[in-house]
Chains A and B, each alone.
Chain A
Amino acid sequence: MPKTKKYLTVLKSKLIFFSVLVLPFSTNYKLEGFSLGGAGGDIMNSDNYQMVGSAGELTGQNLSGDSYDLGAGLAFVRQANQPTIATFDNPNNYYDKLHFVIDTWGNPSDSLYALAISPDDFTTTYYVKSDNTLGLTLVSTDYQTYNTWGGATGTTIIGLEAGTTYKIKIKARQGKFTETAWSSTASTATLDQQLTFDIDVSASDEETSPPYSIDLGDLSPGTVTDSTEKIWVDLETNANSGASVYVYGQYAGLYSLAAGTTIASVNGNLAVLSSGFGVQAVGASQVSGGPMTIDSLYDLSSDVVGTTDTTIRQIFLTASPLSSGRASFILKAKSETTTPAASDYTETLTVIAAAHF
């Protein structure tokens, strides 16, 4: 074997690994697209030259079957390894987001990846933009490295439609003329938007049915009277920004038609105030997510109450999705010696919720 040929044989056995990435070049020349014809794709180089060999040049296209995908020709040799979607899931009951993780299949860290996603099996194709939203166009900035796409943690795609099954696919490139075809697809679904809300009225933590009422009984002058029952709320949502529960009154206090007067709703300490009516939160909890918290206006103790006038006020809130949220509040009232006697003091509290999608 001539010395030169032997030298090339050694080199190609050591450097074949780089054949998909590096063009044959030296300081004096660069070869684009050539074939040795025959035995197989190969790479050869030294300080002065480099050559990439490819087998066949049959069609320049992949040969695909149910269980294999064979590429041929120089284009295939130069391509990055075909990446796939390692994980495509909905880990947190998302209604507008889905999570994916890339499997690089050994591509170098500076390889770039692009992703396409579709709600209708790619009749309509959207691309995952660099800000993780969807777009109808794929531009160079939408190609990002494995690490930029979140590495092993992955990335969450945002701005999706609720209750929709999406398919996703990926391709890679590492320099010019190295872009792969789209991978096979993975699919998963967003959930429908969810908001569950319910009211219960009971002394204990139990489910009750409407109509809801609370009788405070006799309000002895100068004495703070607590409601025996609590007003409970159930709250559950997958809204990204959580939800709020609100309370407001019809009369801004306990109103007597017969006496023509109102025990006014107040912010303050009923132990000090001569009379008044208000609400005090008892607690808030959840099984997961949240947390569900009490608005400071009603996060009170002793005989201090927050007002339930006709303005709609937030009493409970969560800034994140939560499951099985449960919260309660009680009523407190106090009359004074000059509060007109009547048996028809009444207030209607409205308790509502809104999710922040």
Chain B
Amino acid sequence: MKKTSLNLVLGLSLVLILTLVFGVKQAWAANFSTAWLRYDRMKAETLSSLQVLFVPATAGTEDRVVIVFASATVGSSQAVTVTNLPTGTTALPGTLVAAGGGTSIAITGVDDLDVGSTYAFNLSVGVSTPAAGSAQDTLSTRSDATTVIDSTSVTSRYITNDQIVITAVVPPTFNFVLSGNTDVFTGNLDSGTTSVTGGNTVTVSTNASKGWIAWVKSANVSLSSATTGETIPTTGSVDGSPSTLSAGSNGYLLDVDLTTDHASGTGSVTIAPEYNGTDVDEGGTLSSTFQQIATADGTTAGDVITLIERAAISAIMSAASDYTDTLTVIGAGAF
């Protein structure tokens, strides 16, 4: 009896010593409560990042997460992130370092995990997916390089194409509206002052990405009277800067003002310097050929410019009530 007891004690001691020295690998690893690998591209033979989610089922001191890929091609350079994770998940804790090698990726530096919590992380480099079909990868948590705590196989599918190309056309639009087709001077022309018309507006809306342009040409290049046969000629020359009327001297100009540079749209309106008069006597010289009066460099929901004619006469200008000119105002979108 004593010999038997002695042998028993020695045997148990030996087992204890071996356990302490070499440790014990868990021979039967439990499955995770839930585990999945989301390939961000399911298209076959395509580089895909991954999102990994799992719920530990077994108590243990985790040190790393290892994914063994059945068919995907693993690069050695990997990166792990914990952003854009699903609601209700916990970012995999720890000072995480991902490294690929052979058929697996190991994420080391993992802190101890709680059973029942849902952990997630991303592998932003990922793997190259295999040919179309399915493959069963294995996800495991480990306490060291070989000792598995939880392990689950996860099947993923790879398909011929996982993308849909959407196309659409935004057709060009251009609207150009004059507020009226007549514009009379607010009073009789007077040699003692410069006179001005009430003005007409031009409203432009367009989806032309490069904006729009407006031009004006004058039929008479003057205010002319059929009755008297006399004209009040335009003043100055088209030279990129406004001209100035003088009371008592014949003259006729077009002044263009920016009324609305619409907030909607990408464009900003610019009045052509020639027609950008800055006071009641200034304006641009009229021409019988189209001259740019304003431009915009992008889309707009309704830019507005105002065209105002200005005139002055000498004291000897023949009286008549039919001094007139016809301005042609056009515009175009720059698509």
**Contact across chains for A212 and B163 when beta carbons are under 8 A apart:** yes
Per-residue CB proximity of A4-34 to B under 8 Å, as 1/0?
A: 0000000000000000000000000000000
Q: Which of A41-49, A177-185, A218-226 lines the interface with chain B?
A: A218-226
For B171, the chain A residues whose CB sits under 8 A away are 218-220, 341
For B299, the chain A residues whose CB sits under 8 A away are 337-340
**Contact across chains for A354 and B264 when beta carbons are under 8 A apart:** no
Given contacts A195-B134, A352-B42, A354-B36, contact A345 B31 (CB under 8 A): no
Cβ-closest chain A residue relative to B34: A241
For A195, the chain B residues whose CB sits under 8 A away are 134, 155-157
**Contact across chains for A348 and B165 when beta carbons are under 8 A apart:** yes
Among A194, A201, A335, point to the contact of B170 (Cβ < 8 A): A335
Q: How far apart sit A118 and B35, CA to CA, in the bound complex (Å)?
A: 24
**Contact across chains for A350 and B41 when beta carbons are under 8 A apart:** yes
Q: Chain A: how many interface residues by the 8 Å CB criterion?
A: 75
**Contact across chains for B173 and A337 when beta carbons are under 8 A apart:** yes
Q: How far apart sit A350 and B166, CA to CA, in the bound complex (Å)?
A: 11
**Contact across chains for A342 and B169 when beta carbons are under 8 A apart:** yes
CB contact list, A150-205 vs B, under 8 A: 158-159, 161-162, 192-199, 201
User: Is the CB of A215 closer than 8 A to any CB of chain B?
Assistant: yes
Q: How far apart sit A244 and B120, CA to CA, in the bound complex (Å)?
A: 15
**Contact across chains for A158 and B31 when beta carbons are under 8 A apart:** yes
CB contact list, B264-297 vs A, under 8 A: 264-266
Shortest CB-to-CB span from B65 to chain A, Å, is 16
User: Is the CB of A240 closer than 8 A to any CB of chain B?
Assistant: yes
User: Is the CB of B300 closer than 8 A to any CB of chain A?
Assistant: yes
Q: How far apart sit A199 and B38, CA to CA, in the bound complex (Å)?
A: 17
Q: How far apart sit A339 and B315, CA to CA, in the bound complex (Å)?
A: 54
Given contacts A217-B169, A338-B266, A349-B166, contact A246 B38 (CB under 8 A): yes
**Contact across chains for A347 and B161 when beta carbons are under 8 A apart:** no
**Contact across chains for A215 and B167 when beta carbons are under 8 A apart:** yes
Q: Which of A64-72, A105-113, A255-263, A320-328 lines the interface with chain B?
A: A255-263
For A134, the chain B residues whose CB sits under 8 A away are 28
**Contact across chains for B167 and A345 when beta carbons are under 8 A apart:** yes
**Contact across chains for A96 and B28 when beta carbons are under 8 A apart:** no
User: Is the CB of B159 closer than 8 A to any CB of chain A?
Assistant: yes
User: Is the CB of B121 closer than 8 A to any CB of chain A?
Assistant: no
**Contact across chains for B162 and A348 when beta carbons are under 8 A apart:** no
**Contact across chains for B167 and A216 when beta carbons are under 8 A apart:** yes
**Contact across chains for B161 and A341 when beta carbons are under 8 A apart:** no
Q: Which of B186-194, B205-213, B230-238 lines the interface with chain A?
A: B205-213
User: Is the CB of B69 closer than 8 A to any CB of chain A?
Assistant: no
User: Is the CB of A133 closer than 8 A to any CB of chain B?
Assistant: yes
Shortest CB-to-CB span from B262 to chain A, Å, is 8
Cβ-closest chain A residue relative to B43: A350
For B165, the chain A residues whose CB sits under 8 A away are 211-214, 346-348
CB contact list, B172-213 vs A, under 8 A: 172-173, 205-209
Q: How far apart sit A117 and B275, CA to CA, in the bound complex (Å)?
A: 96
User: Is the CB of B82 closer than 8 A to any CB of chain A?
Assistant: no
Cβ-closest chain B residue relative to A137: B28
**Contact across chains for B42 and A215 when beta carbons are under 8 A apart:** no
For A259, the chain B residues whose CB sits under 8 A away are 170, 209
For A349, the chain B residues whose CB sits under 8 A away are 163-164, 166
**Contact across chains for B42 and A197 when beta carbons are under 8 A apart:** yes
Among A133, A244, A336, point to the contact of B30 (Cβ < 8 A): A133
User: Is the CB of A271 closer than 8 A to any CB of chain B?
Assistant: no
User: Is the CB of A85 closer than 8 A to any CB of chain B?
Assistant: no
Per-residue CB proximity of A218-240 to B under 8 Å, as 1/0?
A: 11110001010001000000011
For A221, the chain B residues whose CB sits under 8 A away are 170, 173, 207
Which of A209, A314, A340 has its CB near the most chain B CB atoms (within 10 A)?
A340
Cβ-closest chain B residue relative to A159: B31
Shortest CB-to-CB span from B210 to chain A, Å, is 9
Given contacts A195-B157, A349-B163, contact A312 B169 (CB under 8 A): no
Given contacts A217-B169, A341-B171, contact A162 B153 (CB under 8 A): yes
Q: How far apart sit A357 and B157, CA to CA, in the bound complex (Å)?
A: 13
Q: How far apart sit A357 and B30, CA to CA, in the bound complex (Å)?
A: 13
**Contact across chains for A355 and B27 when beta carbons are under 8 A apart:** no
Among A196, A201, A241, A345, point to the contact of B164 (Cβ < 8 A): A201
Shortest CB-to-CB span from A193 to chain B, Å, is 4
Shortest CB-to-CB span from A116 to chain B, Å, is 14
User: Is the CB of A333 closer than 8 A to any CB of chain B?
Assistant: yes
Given contacts A192-B155, A195-B157, contact A354 B169 (CB under 8 A): no
User: Is the CB of A136 closer than 8 A to any CB of chain B?
Assistant: yes
User: Is the CB of A210 closer than 8 A to any CB of chain B?
Assistant: yes
Shortest CB-to-CB span from A142 to chain B, Å, is 14
For A351, the chain B residues whose CB sits under 8 A away are 162-164
**Contact across chains for B166 and A331 when beta carbons are under 8 A apart:** yes
Shortest CB-to-CB span from A337 to chain B, Å, is 5
For B119, the chain A residues whose CB sits under 8 A away are none
Given contacts A133-B30, A219-B168, A341-B173, contact A210 B153 (CB under 8 A): no
Q: How far apart sit A331 and B209, CA to CA, in the bound complex (Å)?
A: 25
Provide a sorted-by-A list of 12 A–B residue pairs whose CB atoms are within 8 angstroms: A126-B28, A193-B154, A212-B161, A213-B165, A312-B38, A312-B84, A339-B299, A341-B172, A341-B207, A343-B169, A349-B164, A357-B155
* Interface residues of B, Cβ cutoff 8 Å to A: 27-28, 30-31, 34-42, 51, 53, 84, 86, 134, 136, 152-157, 159-173, 205-209, 264-266, 298-301, 335
* Interface residues of A, Cβ cutoff 8 Å to B: 96, 126, 133-136, 158-159, 161-162, 192-199, 201, 209-221, 225, 227, 231, 239-241, 244, 246, 254, 256, 258-261, 263, 311-312, 314, 331, 333, 335-357
Given contacts A346-B168, A356-B53, 8 further A-B contacts (CB under 8 A): A192-B136, A212-B165, A221-B173, A227-B166, A312-B38, A337-B301, A345-B170, A354-B37
